[in-house]
Structure formats: C-alpha cells, structure tokens
Structure 1
Amino acid sequence: MGANKKKLLTGDIVTNAIKDSFIKLNPVTMMKNPVMFVVEAGTIIVLLMTVFPGYFGTEETVGFNLAVFLILLFTVLFANFAEALAEGRGKAQADSLKKSKKEIAANKVVGGSVKQVPSTDLRKGDIVVVSQGEMIPGDGEVIEGLASVDESAITGESAPVIKEAGGDFSSVTGGTRVVSDKIKVKITSDPGESFIDRMIALVEGAKRQKTPNEIALNTLLTSLTIIFLIVVVTLAPIAGFLEIELSVPVLISLLVCLIPTTIGGLLSAIGIAGMDRVTQFNVLAMSGKAVEASGDINTMILDKTGTITFGNRMASEFIPVGGEDTNAVAEWSAVSSVKDETPEGRSVLELMKKEERTYSPAIAEGGEFIEFKAETRMSGIDLLDGRKVRKGAVDAVRKWVETQGGAIPSDLEAKGNAIAKEGGTPLAVAVDNKIFGLIYLKDTVKPGMKERFDQLRKMGIKTIMCTGDNPLTAATIAREAGVDDFIAESKPEDKIAVIRREQAEGKLVAMTGDGTNDAPALAQADVGLAMNSGTVAAKEAANMVDLDSDPSKIIEVVAIGKQLLMTRGALTTFSIANDVAKYFAIIPAMFTLAIPEMEALNVMKLGSPLSSILSALVFNAIIIPLLIPLAMKGVAYRPMSSTKLLQRNIFIYGLGGIVVPFVGIKLIDLVVHMWI
C-alpha cells in the first residue's frame, strides 16, 4: 500500500468508472453538483427537442440539435467519469482490504479455561489468547505478554513489530498475525466496528464530507451559474430586438459554454483524489476536511523521540577516565559490542567506522557473549584468554569492578554526571578490575531533518519540538534539527496549551502522537496524525492514522494537502479564464451580423454564429477529459510564498486558460465550418 506500489489506473477501474458515469446521470445524484446539473437539464431539453421536433417547431434544426445533445451528453458523462475514476481507486483499495477481512478462530478466555469461538462472536471486553502463528481475531490491547506481530496485511510492510502490555505499543489490529511468542489481548471493538471496517468505509469515500473551502467554491460556482443563466435568458429578447433568432438549443449551448463547467466537472474528483493520495502514502484520512486542513497548516507540533530523532540511543563519543587513552576506550568498547545486536551495540561499531578507528575483532572470536539483563544492567564478553569485558550503567559496572578488587577512577562520577546533565546516557567500559572510560550515548537527529524543516519554513509553517529532555539537551537537539521553537520537559497539558495558544492567534495546527497521553492534544489539533502502532485512544482522537507508524510523515501529509489546494486553485483559475475566452469567442460571432461594430471583438474570425457555438461546445466537452489526469495526479507543489504562488498560477493557468481556448476553438471551427 506504499506510495510506489500502486498503479495510478487499471483496466478494471476505468471499466467500472465508465459504468458509474452512466449510473451517476440520475438527477438526484447530479443535483449535488449544481453546475453539472444545469448541463444535464439542458441536455434533456435538447434531447426532447431532437426526438420530438414537431412539438417544438424545430424540424429544420434537428441535425444541429442532435449535435448539441451529443456534445452535452459527452460533457456530463466525462464529468461523472472524473469523479467515478477517483472513487474507483478508493474502492479498489477497499476491495483489497475486504479480502484480508475473514472469519478467524479465536481462543477466548472463559472463566479459568480457553474456549475456541469464531471471531464474529467476540464482543468488546472479551479476552483472547493468541499464540505464535495465529491470527489476531479483533482489534484490541495487549494486557499480558510480548510478541512480534506481522502487520503486512494492513501496512504492506514486511518487518514485524513488537507489541507488549502497557505503554504506547500495546494496540493490535484484527487480521494481523503473531510471529513469535504469545500474548493475551482484550478486544476493544464489536463486530463491524474494527479498524479494518473503518478503513474500508473511509477509503470507499462514500461519505466524504465537503470541506469549508470546497463548500465556498461550490457556492461561487453556483452563483456564477445563476448569473450566466440570467444573462442567457435576457439575451433572447435582446437578440429578438436586433432581429437575431436564437433557438433554445443555441441558448442552452451558450449557457453551458459560459458557466464554469470545467471546474464544476472536476471539483468532486479533485477532493476524492486528495483523500486517495494520502492513502497512497499509507495514511488513512478520516475526512476530506482533514486532508485540506493539512494544506493550510501554520504550526506543526512534533515529538522529539522517533520523529525528529531516531529514538534509539546511539554512541556519539568515547570519553577516557583515569588517565587512559581514548583509543583504548574505543577498542574495548568495540570488543564488547562485536556480538551485541542491540541498537546501542551496533552504534558503537558505526562510531568506530565513522571516526576511522581500528580494533581487532579476532580478540572476541570464540568468546562467550554476555547478554544485557535488567538485573545486571550490563552486557559484554568473556574472552578465551580469561579476560572479562563489560559495558553498562555506570553504577552497575562500578560495583562489578569493586567486587573484583579494582580501583574506581576519581573522574568517573564527574564525567558521567556531565553526560547525564546534557541529556545523554553514559555507559562505563571495563576489563576485569579496571574501568577504561565512558561511551556517550545520545538520541541523534535523523538525516535530512534540517533540510525538511527548512522546506516547511519556506511553506510558512512554524515547527515546535516537544520533548521531556532538560532545557540544555532540548536546545541542542532543536539547534541540530533546525526547528523554530521547542518545549523542554513537556507534559501532555503543555502540548494542549501550545496548540490552543496558536489556534487563538488564528492559526491551524498539526500534531503527531502515538500514546494515550497524546490523545487530548491530537483531538485539539486541526490535523492530528496518530501512529497505527499507538494506542486505541490516540487513533480515535486523531483525524488521520499513519499505517506505517512513521511520525515524520506529517510533512508529506502537509505537502499533499497543499497540493490539493493548489490543484483546485489552478484548475479554478484555468476554468474562469476559459470562460472569459469562450465569451469573447461566441458573443461577437453571434451579434456581428446585427451589430457590425462588434467585428472588432471577433478576434478569432470564426466562420459563423452556429459554427462558433458548436466549436466552443466541442472544446468545452473535450477539455474536461484532458484535465482528468491533472485533477487525479495533482499540480506539482513547490514551496514558495503565497504571492509567488498566486503569480505563478495566474501566469500558467490564467494565461493558459485564455490562450488554449482561443487556439482550440479556432482549430475546431475550421473543421466544423466545413460541415455547416
């Protein structure tokens, strides 16, 4: 389900979209789009005048009426096709989810025993036991045990994730599989209310809510339609006064050409495609409003751990104590880490490589690796020559050395405390009864984060980092990452306070989180992105869920939201400019015979009034399908100021919206005029 794992369109999606284009001709459905409803009403009227010309006195213009009808029908169908195409991609994703949703046998705890029941019989509050190789029968929280869970059926990622009781990684999803160990799960949803059920309903887009901006644009389009309807109606008596005969099909054609049919036909598709686009990035948006709001974000609140930094403590420096050499500290640190597969152990070897230090891995060959245990708080290796190497918490290593009669360096405590005050973690390294030095572990900033925050700054978005670290450590990380502000030693209420403060200034705020303590802030934020690996409370409070549990993905979500707004703005600009061009194409050609002075406005030199109307109508019909790929894919977003963005849109889509119709209508008129 990743961004690069899906084709934009498939044959099945296109075929189903064509069928849905005809189904959507239902007037009840069309009324939701006032602009296209007017076009459909005009299509029906022209059809009646074509089929029953005797009732309308249009026997002499049946051919023209038929041509107008076919062009209008083509226009409506392609507008419906654009919307159906966008919906079809969501439905295709829903179908793939439905395949993963099947009845699973559940080991339900009843009293003191375990009874096997169908997953459909489970209710909220039931307790189930899930062992290695078994499917998790429903959404729930791990209340006992720890296990690796394969969530590829939901996220598309093959790497299993660790789920354990308590904390922020206790939430499990029905339909995922336990890879190792055994867990006890408390079911948190009734049948039909699971996370997959909600995903299916959301990606199908059946209940997509219109956003405030979309409602405002709909209102504008409706107003323009009413205005041009009045204009066209008043043209009939004006034309009669000038002894110019304008038939009903001509007036309907004129109306369809002048109202904003281009954006009217693509508006729904743009909104649906915006929701679909975040789904392509494995982000589930609860509504179109959430996607659009992300495009207007002014402030972004981000947790430090896991978002800005890796979240794993990594070796950053070797610090000698007791007069020892730095190289000796580095060498014994590496020897103790040769067989250590923890992130800390691997980071020691990576630091050695980064600093171009050398050591002999052969020293550790054949040695017995001592795993880290909560009781000892140390790990290490017992070498074949009898020497014992240990690394771990300073106090634990100190006690271990003292039991062997070793002396403690006088500067050990001071240097260890200095690391701790900076927010780092000191690990002592010892060989037998001698401590050589310390490994400075710290949470490091992810590569490229500074550049990404620079990009957000260009978008006009302020970034605020929240962390439980002390102010000194927080300032260091904030400086390295390039965020605009930070909150040190932050608590849940601090996050809500900063969100409310920003909102009080009229700003829209986005936030990421995964824990129960993040739920209030996620609910308060205008865009709340919860991690799928997080708690049920966090996912229910947010209006977006990241199935990959990548907190930094909020940056992509913001870019998609801005792309949605840009696409709508660009196509609206193009559509209005289009209408201006068509106005100057049709009106002068229609009235030139009665008002010779209007020849000056007939810059396109169209063949005749009828050919100009048909040419404009044909152009109007074909421009919608030509713009469908742009509406689906979206206008490429480039970070820039609002002023530059407006200038760019006006230049490309405003100027293009005027030039393209002039060229297109003229070329079509050359062909149409030959047949009239």
Structure 2
Amino acid sequence: MKRQRNALKLLDAQTLVRLAGESLRRLHPRRLAHNPVMFVVGVGTLVTLWLTGTDIIAGRPWGFDLAITLTLLFTLLFANAAEALAEAQGRAQAESLRSTRKQLVARRVRGDDEESVPATALRRGDRVRVLAGELIPADGEIIEGAASINESAVTGESAPVLREAGTDNSGVSAGTKLLTDSLLVEVTVESGQSLLDRMIALVESAKRQKTPNEIALTVLLSALTMVFLIVVATLVPFAAFVGAEVSVPVLVALLVCLIPTTIGGLLPAIGIAGMDRAMRANLVAKSGKAVEVAGNIDTLLLDKTGTITHGDRQASDFLPLARIAPEQLREAAMLSSLADPTPEGKSIVALAKSRGATAEADPKARVLAFSAKTRLSGIDQPDGRRIRKGAPDAIRRFVTENGGSYPDETTALVERVARGGATPLVVAQDDRVLGVVPLSDIIKTGIKERFQRLHAMGIRTVLITGDNPLTAAAIAAEAGVADYIAEATPEDKLEYIRREQAQGRLVAMMGDGTNDAPALAQADLGLAMNSGTQAAKEAGNMVDLDSDPTKLLEVVEIGKQLLVTRGALTTFSLANDVAKYFAILPAIFVASVPAMQALDIMQLNSPATAVLAAVIFNALVIPALIPFALRGVRLRPVSADALLRRNLLIYGLGGLVLPFPAIKLIDLGLGLVM
C-alpha cells in the first residue's frame, strides 16, 4: 500500500491559525522580494497605510484609504497562504523522514574490526555490516550477501523486496530495514546527500530552487508589472489635463488591479504542488527542473520487459532443426541454463525437466554468464563441448567463429517465432545450431490505451528491446508503440538519444543498471529505479522509489499537468487584468470626460466604489483559485495546439468575462454600506 497522507482540513481552526501566522511571517521584505509582483503590492500597501495615517492625523476622511490598505494586505496574506498551504502538505512527511534519519546508527567495518558510529559520520567508500532487524544507515551498494528488505519507510510499500550483490538490484537506501540474513554494504554517497536527505529537501520549500520556466515567467510578470506601472503613472498628467482628481490610493489600487497579482501570488504554490504530486507518486527529483522537463518531453524511450510486457518471459517450446533429435536440443538448452538465474533461464530448465530432460552440469564445467555485449550465455563442459544459447545474431557469430555454418532453416524458424511475438533463443553446440527456444511474454493490459493518450499529447514512444527486429516489430504493433530499437545495446540507446536531441527533441528514458548510466545521464529526463545500481541513480535526475518501469508514463503526465496548470492560471490572470482595466477606468474618468460614457457599460455607483470593488475582487480571486492550483488542471490527451485553444477559450475567455459581473455585484454591495 502506498504512503497515505492526511488531507489538510481547510476549515480546521488550528490549521487556519497556523496558516495565518505563516502568512504574516512571509510579509518580511526579503521574502517578498523573491516575488516582484507581490513586492509591488507590498510597497503599495505601505504607501496607502502611510497615507491613511496622515489622513487620520490631519483630520481628513480616511475610511476609503483604510479600506484600500486592508484589502491590499489581505491580497498579500492570501498569496502567502497559498504558498504556505502547498508547503504544509509535505511538512509532516519531512518530519517523519527526519526522525527516521536520526535513528540511524552504523556498524562500520575496518579490516577485521567493527565499530558503531552515527550514520552521519559515514563517508563515501566506507563499508558497513547490517544484520537482520537493523536499519540500513546509508545509501550504498551490496558487495556481499543477499537479503529481503522492507522499504516502507521510504517507498510506503510494505511488501519486502530482494536485494543481492552483483546484480542490477544491488542498491539499498538509508532508512530501509533488513529483514533477513546480513549484508556488507559499501557507502556510495557523502553524508547529507542520501536519497532520504533528497526527499527531505524536496518537501522543504527553503531548499526548493526556482525552475528555468518559473524564472522565465517571473521575468515576464516583472516586465508586465513595469509596463502597467508606466501606464498608471501616465494617468497623473492625463487627469490633470482633463481636470480630474485622482488620489494616490486610487492609483495604487488601480496598479494592483492591473498587474498580474493572481498568477504572481499562485506561482510558487503551483510549483510546490507539482513537486508534491511527484512525491505522492513516490518519485524523488534532484530538482524541480526534472518535473518540468517531464512535461515538455517529445520522445519516450521504454524498455519492453516490465514496461510494455509483464516481463515474465517463459520458455514455451523446443523447436529442433531437421536431423536434430528433440532430446538433444532439450538437454543442451537445459545445460546452458542450469547456472542462469534469470526467470527465462529457470523457465527453460523447468520446461526441459517437464519433458523428460535429466542433464546435470559437471562441477568442473565453466559457466558463461549472460552479457549485454555478447548477448549469449552457456557452458563449457570438461569433455570439450561448448554449448551456447542466445540471440540469433550472437549465435551466428559463435557458430561461424567455430568453423560451422548458420543454416537457412534456423533463419526461417527464428522469423516464424518472431512474427508470433515471441522472443527466439537459438541453441548451438560448437559449430552446429541445434534449434530454437521461443520465450513468450504478455502485453500488459491497458498499456495500448496509455500510449494513445501520450500520442494524443504529441509524445513519440519508442520501444527498446534486445529482441530481433521481427519480434520487436510485432510487439510494437500490438502495443501501439510508434517506433522501436531492436537488438539494442547500451551504445545504441545513447546514440538514439543523441540523434533525437540533435533534432531538437527532449528525450526521457528509464534504467536500473550500470550500463544504463551513460544514456540516463544523456537523456533530458533520466528516471532511475531505486532498486538499481548507484551508478544509475547518480546518472538519472529522478529516482522511482517503487522501481516500477511503467512509472515513466506517470512522470510525463505529472510534468505535463504542472505546465498546463501554470499556463491556464497565467492565461486567466492576464485576461483578468484586461477586464479590470476596462471595468474601472471609465468609472474613474467618466465625470471629467463625458465621451467615456460610452465605455462605462457597468454603470458603477462611483469612482470610489468602482476602485474598491475591483481591489476586493482582485483579493478574493486568489483564495478562490488556491484549491485549483494545488490540485492541478485535469490533464486531457490533446495536442499542444488543441490545448492552447482550449486554454484560451476556457481560461482566457473566462478570465475576461468573470470580473465584470463580480465587480458589479461587489459594487452594489458597497453602494448599500457607503
């Protein structure tokens, strides 16, 4: 079961008091300076507050100035509350993780001696011994042993997982608990840089850096603020020219209504909420940029096994060549698989035994483990027999190097198996091919529909597999993948990523092994499995705590939702500004410039109520949109052009129309009390 969170109760009194206190603390000028739009609102609040004070001292009417001051203050508080609320969603989790980190003690091994030290004293390269029932003190690689580990403290998943030295599942994380046996672990990170530390930093706003897109949008909002500042400043000579009187509080209120305060106040909350959604999906990003990049991905590289298929490939038959006895093929396939720990190898042994094979490996035999480079495995018997099983091209090289020939019958048999969507393994002995073993896998239910969603968003999916081109093509067609890379090596992945990037595309991929590290580092978004090697986790810019190969699809949707939410609220905010300009400006100057009567379509009570109504609406729209900013816009599988049209229609037109009736209603209410 995934880690559960207690939903924040917005109407809970204690929560409201805490948020109010946090919002007041954020009024410090240094905090406001990080957000130029809200800094301008803060300066305007101080100006109107000072004018209110001077009016009171001089005995002049001060009610309007005070109303403007309080409304601007609430605008600041609401904007601060949005950011504080977003941060509060991760605070409880950070405290839980921090308490886990404090409990960590290590049994450091030096030579034949062991010493107990705090986990914070460990350094990269140290070796620690972990016994059953103890917490693993630091991120590292298992260099000795195999054991079952409970990772619920980090992943929220209670089911134990198996980690073993010398495999792609040798990585362990600080704070996880060893359930069985004992392990010797080599620390691979310095103190303060573990996955646990990254998770704590991720949910603490103080450590959150603005992403490039967020910085660019902040610059744009600052530029718009300067433009409207100039526009408001030009109203002073214009008012003097037409004989109108416009007070400083009115100018300040008008400026605050025109600058993009809505998106300016919600921008930090949108970014934090996006990171929080990633955390809830058990994803640890090294920076907020990784989540944003996921939303801009053009090409998605996906491993076949475990992502598109269930990854439980099973031997389904033995297909001997002509003049090869079926039992000879079964015996050879079984011998070459006795030392093969993979599910495929075990399934070959099980199938051979079920069909009467009784072969046993000689203790003096030399076992050849599978390699991604050679793409074959096998056994060298003491009597001189060299038995191999592997990919067709690898077996072809093996046979020809031993002076034999690769018969056309083998090619036809391989093609027949591949066209059926199974993976053909060819078995050979010395200079002769014996036959083919089909490995069958099953496409995951619903995976084709998920790919269709991605394609509708303009994302190109690419299948990566070590299978031959025919099998790859059959699986790609069945799963609905746009393209495939067959007989892929680590170098092929890296070259494909570089080729895509050279054409201006952003590429995402996932991996868990050391051989995936170069491609993970090269990809714009590299998702590493938590169960994988430390090299893979260091090369990627995001780690999946669940080690779920299909999570890459979810990462892209989370990133896309973050960008869509930000774009939608930006469109709404800018449309609001245009509407407020044409709603209140005629009300201010209609008395002095009768020609503006044609533009005064709202017929507001007075310039004072018009300005105050606009400022109140401007303040109220921020808290009204906080749930929307935290939850995110519902993601729909449409292209970028269709998404732009939808945003302009819903959020642009909505933002343009909404202020008119809202300001009119507030003006009517103010007319009753003023």
Query: Aligned AA for 1:48?
Result: W
Deviation at 1:560, TM superposition (A): 1.3
Whether 1:622 and 2:620 are equivalent positions in the alignment is yes
Aligned residue number for residue 403 of structure 1? none
CA contact 2:417–2:424 (8 Å) conserved in 1: no
Q: 1:464 aligns with which of 433, 440, 462?
A: 462
- State the distance in 2 between where 1:425 and 1:181 align: 38
Q: Judge conservation of contact 1:378–1:396 (CA < 8 Å) in 2.
A: no
Match of 1:108 in 2: 108
The DSSP-based 3-state class of the residue aligned with 2:145 is: strand
Distance 1:138-1:476 versus aligned 2 partners, 3 A rule: same
Partner of 2:253: 253
1:506-655, aligned counterparts within 5 Å? 506-655=504-653
Partner AA of 1:38 in structure 2: V
Q: Please state if 1:454 is matched with 2:452.
A: yes
What's the counterpart of residue 312 of structure 1? Answer: 312
How much has 1:235 moved relative to structure 2?
0.7
Q: Give the Å deviation of 1:71.
A: 0.3
Shift of 1:148: 0.8
User: Alpha-carbon deviations, 1:254-313, whole Å to 9, x = none?
Assistant: 111111111111111111111111111111122221111111111011122222222222
Q: What is the CA–CA distance in structure 1 between the aligned matches of 2:192 and 2:627, rounded to whole Å? A: 35
SS in 2 for 1:311: coil
Partner of 1:78: 78
Superposed counterparts of 1:228-239, under 5 Å:
228-239=228-239
Matched AA of 1:603? I
Match of 2:242 in 1: 242
Give the structure 1 partner of residue 30 of structure 2: 28
In structure 2, the residue matched to 1:673 is 671
Let me know the Cα RMSD of the aligned residues: 3.1
- 1:38–1:315 Cα change, 3 Å: same
SS of residue in 2 equivalent to 1:74: helix
Q: Which residue is equivalent to 2:384?
A: none
Say if 1:315 and 1:664 are closer, same or farther in 2 by CA, change over 3 A: farther
Note if contact 1:82-1:266 (Cα within 8 Å) is conserved in structure 2. Answer: yes
Residues 478-509 of structure 1 deviation map (CA, whole Å, 9 limit, x = unaligned) = 22222111111212121111111111111111
Residue 318 of structure 1, CA deviation = 9.6
Whether contact under 8 Å (2:260, 2:574) holds in the other structure is: yes
Question: For residues 419-475 of structure 1, what are the alpha-carbon distances to aligned partners after superposition, in whole Å with 9 as ceiling and x for unaligned?
Answer: 9964637899xxxxxxxx999542322221111111111111111111222222222
Alignment of 1:225-624 (within 5 A): 225-314=225-314, 378-379=349-350, 390-391=353-354, 396=359, 418=414, 422=418, 424=423, 440-624=438-622
Q: Is the partner of 2:313 in helix, strand or coil?
A: strand
User: SS in structure 2 opposite 1:297?
Assistant: coil
Q: Which residue identity is paired with 1:217?
A: L
The separation in 2 between residues aligned to 1:644 and 1:141, in whole angstroms, is: 47
Q: Are 1:150 and 2:171 an aligned pair?
A: no
Aligned AA (2:448): K
Q: What's the CA shift for 1:53?
A: 2.3
1:381-401 Cα shifts (integer Å, max 9, x gaps): xxxxxxxx93389794999xx
Instruction: Give secondary structure in 2 for the equivalent of 1:225.
Output: helix
Q: Distance in 2 between the 1:171 and 1:420 partners?
A: 39
User: 1: CA distance between counterparts of 2:20 and 2:438?
Assistant: 63
Secondary structure of the corresponding residue to residue 107 of structure 1: strand
Partners of 2:509 and 2:21 lie apart in 1 by: 41
Local SS of the residue matching 2:527: strand
- 2:414–2:436: 8 Å Cα contact kept in structure 1? no
TM-score normalised by L of structure 1: 0.82
- Unpaired segments ≥5 residues, structure 1: 323-341, 346-371, 381-388, 400-412, 429-436
In the alignment, the residues of structure 2 paired with residue 137 and residue 554 of structure 1 have an alpha-carbon distance, to the nearest angstrom, of: 29
Out of 183-192 and 31-40, give the one that drifted further: 183-192
Offset at residue 602 of structure 1 (A): 1.0
Give the stretch that moved more between structures: 183-192 or 581-590: 183-192
**Partners of 1:128 and 1:184 within 8 A in 2:** yes
Instruction: Give the residue type in structure 1 aligned to 2:596.
Output: M
Report the counterpart of residue 62 of structure 1 in structure 2. Answer: 62
Paired position in structure 1 for 2:212: 212
Taking a change above 3 Å as real, the CA distance of residues 512 and 608 of structure 1, as seen in their structure-2 partners, is same
Partner Cα distance (1:287, 1:457) in 2: 27
Q: Does the CA-based 8 Å contact 2:497-2:523 persist in structure 1?
A: yes
The equivalent of 2:185 in structure 1 is 185
Give the AA of the match of 1:77: L
Instruction: Say yes or no: does 1:17 pair with 2:15.
Output: no
Pairwise CA distance, 1:638? 0.2
Contact residue 201 and residue 208 of structure 2 kept, 8 A: no
Aligned residues: 598
**What SS does the corresponding residue of 1:109 show, helix, strand or coil?**
strand
| 1-structure distance, mates of 2:3, 2:185 | 32
Which AA in structure 2 matches 1:675?
Answer: V
1:131 deviation in Å?
A: 2.5
Counterpart contact for 2:417–2:438, Cα < 8 Å: no
Query: Distance in 2 between the 1:20 and 1:597 partners?
Result: 48
The residue number in structure 1 matching 2:197 is: 197
* Percent identity of equivalent pairs: 57
